[in-house]
Amino acid sequence: MIVKNSRTFLGRGRYFQICVLPLIGLGILVGVAFADPLPSWNEGQTKQAIIKFVQVVANKSSPQYVPPEQRITTFDNDGTLWSEQPIYFQGFFAFDRVKALAPQHPEWKERQPFKAILENDMKALAATGETGMAEIIMTTHAGMTTEQFEKIVKDWLATAKHPRFNRPFTNLVYKPMLELLAYLRKNGFKTYIVSGGGVEFMRPWAEKVYGIPPEQVVGSSIKLKLEMRDGKPVLMRLPEIDFIDDGPGKPVGIQKFIGRRPVAAFGNSDGDHQMLQWTAAGEGPRFMLLVHHTDAEREWAYDRQSPIGRLDKALDEAHNRGWTVVDMKKDWKRVFPF
C-alpha cells in the first residue's frame, strides 16, 4: 500500500528513478563486494586457507603485506592444472607423432620402440624403458624449427582427443584451478607454470587456456641452435636434453628463469616436492598446496603407488608441516569446465 501510494505520489518515472534504480545499484555493489572468487570450490578449510593467504599478502594494512613485484606464484602443470592420466598428455602427443611420421619410416615397423607404438603394445613399449622413451621424445620433438614445432603442437591439439573423455586435451583443465589463477592475478600475483613438461609443448596454448603468457612458462627443454635458412635466421631443435625441470630441477628452474623465490607454490606429486620446500624456506608469508587426486569417478584417484604423478613423500611432508592438501572429491564442486 505504501508502495502504491508512493508510486501514485511520485509518478511512475520518478518512482523508478528514486526507488528502483538505487536498489538495483545497491544490489550490484553488494554482489560485486561479496562475489565468491572461487565458486567451484566447496566451502571448508582448503578454500578458507587460500582466501586467507591472499588477504594477508595483498592487503596493504596487513602486517604480512607483500609488494606486488614479489607476489610470484608457481604452478606445476600435469596433475595440477590439467589431468595426467592414464599417461602424461605429452606422451599421447609423442605417440601420435610417431604414427603420423611412420609412412616416412618403413623401418619402424620392425624397430623398437616405434614398433610397440605402431602396434599399440604398451607392454612392449614399457620394456624399452627410459632409453626407448628418450628415443621417442627426440624423434618427435627435435629436428625442426621452433616455429614448425609450435604449429605441430597447435595442429595436434585442434584434433586429438582424450581416450576416456573423448574431448580435446585442453578441455581437461581443472575449473577450480582456473578460478584460482584468475583470483591470484586479480590480487596482483604473477602466475607462472613450472612444469616437468616440455616448455615449447606448453607455450603455444598456455596463454589462451590459463591466461599465462609464454614468458611465464618454465619447463623442460632440448637444446636450440641458430641457423640461417634462405638468409633468414631460424632456431633448430636439437635431439639433446638442455634442462629437466622436475624434482630438484624445479628450484633451479625457478632461479634460472624467474630469479625470485615464489611466495606460493602449487603441485600434486613428488616431482613438486622440492619446489614446495624451496617456497616454504623463504621469509614472510608462504603458501604451499598439493592437489590430491581422490576422485576416481569425476577424474582419477591415485597417490603413493602411481607410476604417473606419484604423491608419497610430499604428502607426508604436507601433513607434517601443515601445507594445504586439496581433497579433489571433497573440495571441488566441479572438476572440469565442461
Site residues, its own copies (CB under 8 A): 69, 72, 146, 190, 199-200, 203, 207, 213-215, 217, 221, 224-226, 232-233, 235, 242, 248-249, 251-252, 255-260, 274, 277-278, 281
- Are 235 and 226 a contacting pair, CB within 8 Å? yes
Minimum distance from CB of 25 to its own copies (Å)? 31
Residues constituting the chain:
338
- Between residues 95 and 192, which has the closer beta carbon with respect to its own copies? 192
- Between residues 39 and 211, which has the closer beta carbon with respect to its own copies? 211
- Between residues 165 and 257, which has the closer beta carbon with respect to its own copies? 257
Long-range contact set of residues 253-258: C-beta below 8 Å, sequence gap at least 24: 253/194, 253/218, 253/219, 254/74, 254/194, 254/218, 254/278, 256/218, 257/218, 258/72, 258/74, 258/192, 258/218
Minimum distance from CB of 140 to its own copies (Å)? 19
∠ CA 103-109-110, nearest 5°, is 150
Minimum distance from CB of 75 to its own copies (Å)? 15
- Are 196 and 245 a contacting pair, CB within 8 Å? yes
Q: Is the backbone of residue 230 left (phi > 0), alpha (psi -120 to 50) or beta?
A: left
- Between residues 170 and 294, which has the closer beta carbon with respect to its own copies? 170
Minimum distance from CB of 251 to its own copies (Å)? 5
The amino acid at 132: G
From CA 65, how far away is CA 14, in angstroms rounded? 47
Minimum distance from CB of 11 to its own copies (Å)? 40
- Between residues 120 and 255, which has the closer beta carbon with respect to its own copies? 255
- Between residues 70 and 306, which has the closer beta carbon with respect to its own copies? 70
- Between residues 124 and 235, which has the closer beta carbon with respect to its own copies? 235
Sign, CA torsion 48/49/55/61 = positive
Name every residue whose Cβ is closer than 8 Å to that of residue 156 and which is 6 or more positions away in sequence.
Answer: 93, 96, 97
Minimum distance from CB of 193 to its own copies (Å)? 11
Q: Which residues pair with 190 in a beta bridge?
A: 72
- Are 236 and 225 a contacting pair, CB within 8 Å? yes
Place of cell 622436475: 246
Minimum distance from CB of 296 to its own copies (Å)? 34
∠ CA 201-206-210, nearest 5°, is 150
Minimum distance from CB of 36 to its own copies (Å)? 28
From CA 127, how far away is CA 117, in angstroms rounded? 12
- Between residues 244 and 301, which has the closer beta carbon with respect to its own copies? 244
